[in-house]
């Protein structure tokens, strides 16, 4: 679909209207979403795709260039059609989330003294777990740890050991 709109990454420069640019944004966003899912599999290989990694990076550069153009134009004009597009830049900045990172967030959550900030941190952790395909299946267990074990841990430095013990108990 992306190549139907822009056969090459250089052809992004030839898009003449905001409608064509919007079509490019939507097609590239869809490609990024699908690629993020594919990359979560251990047997992912760029060679299996009709788009190689360098070509994807070239398209991504054009996507970011157009994003900057849209932001500049939106400041100049009161009504700009592309200003309403959600560019979903978080798809580009995909981080690998692992157990160590989750434990760091749990430690920060435990050390937070302000209840409203603590609630916001808990929500952020849950959203993070729900958004990562590899951790989604473990979300229920991590949430159970937060609800049942975390309140009884007095020292935030003990979270790692307590979590390991909890995880081992759940495996058994």
pLDDT at site 5: 92
| 79-135: pLDDT as tens digits | 444 444 554 544 454 445 566 777 787 888 888 777 777 777 777 777 777 666 566
pLDDT digits (tens, 9 = 90+) for 54-73: 998 899 888 888 888 877 77
CA 20 vs. chain centroid, Å, equals 26
- Average of pLDDT values for 135-162? 83
Return d(Cα 158, Cα 1) in angstroms, integer: 51
Are 46 and 53 a contacting pair, CB within 8 Å? yes
**pTM given for the model:** 0.48
Average pLDDT over residues 5-31: 89
CATH assignment of the domain containing 27: 1.20.58.910
Range with the poorest average pLDDT among 22-26, 30-34, 122-126, 148-152 = 122-126
Q: Are 15 and 75 part of one and the same domain?
A: yes
Whether residue 158 sits in one domain with residue 133: yes
Q: Which of 39, 72, 91 is the last residue of a domain?
A: 91
Dihedral through CA 100, CA 130, CA 40, CA 141, nearest 10?
50
Mapped to the 3 state alphabet, what secondary structure does the chain carry? CHHHHCCCHHHHHHCCCHHHHHHHHHHHHHHHHHHHHHHCCCCCCHHHCCCCHHHHHHHHHHHHHHHHHHHHHHHHCCCCHHHHCCCCHHHCCCCCCCHHHHHHHHHHHHHCCCHHHHHHHHHHHHHHHHHCCCCHHHHHHHHHHHHHCHHHCCCHHHHHHHHHHHHHHHHC
Last residue of a domain, one of 56, 91, 126: 91
Per-residue pLDDT band for 4 (boundaries 50, 70, 90) equals very high
Residues 83, 155 share a domain: no
Residues 78, 10, single domain; the answer is yes
Claim to verify: residue 86 and residue 17 sit in the same structural domain: yes
- What is the number of domains present in the chain? 2
Statement to judge: residues 72 and 7 lie in one domain: yes
Residues 49 and 106 in one domain: no
> 106: burial class by Cβ within 10 Å (0-12, 13-18, 19+)?
buried
Same domain, 79 and 10: yes
**Does 8 share its domain with 79?**
yes
Residue 41 pLDDT class (50, 70, 90 cuts): confident
Range of the domain at 150: 99-171
Could you say which of 51, 67, 91 is where a domain stops?
91
């Amino acid at each position: 679909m992306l190549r139907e709109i822009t056969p090459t990454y250089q052809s992004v420069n030839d898009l003449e209207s905001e409608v064509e640019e919007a079509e490019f944004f939507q097609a590239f966003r869809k490609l990024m979403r699908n690629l993020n899912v594919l990359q979560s599999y251990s047997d992912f290989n760029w060679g299996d795709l009709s788009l190689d990694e360098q070509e994807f990076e070239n398209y991504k550069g054009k996507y970011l260039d157009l994003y900057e153009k849209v932001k500049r134009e939106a400041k100049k004009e009161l009504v700009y059609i592309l200003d309403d597009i959600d560019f979903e830049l978080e798809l580009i900045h995909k981080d690998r989330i692992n157990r160590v990172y989750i434990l760091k967030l749990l430690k920060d959550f435990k050390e937070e003294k302000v209840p409203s900030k603590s609630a916001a941190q808990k929500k952020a952790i849950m959203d993070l777990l729900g958004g990562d395909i590899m951790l989604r299946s473990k979300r229920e267990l991590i949430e159970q740890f937060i609800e049942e074990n975390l309140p009884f841990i007095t020292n935030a430095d003990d979270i790692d050991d307590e979590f390991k013990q909890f995880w081992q108990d759940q495996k058994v």
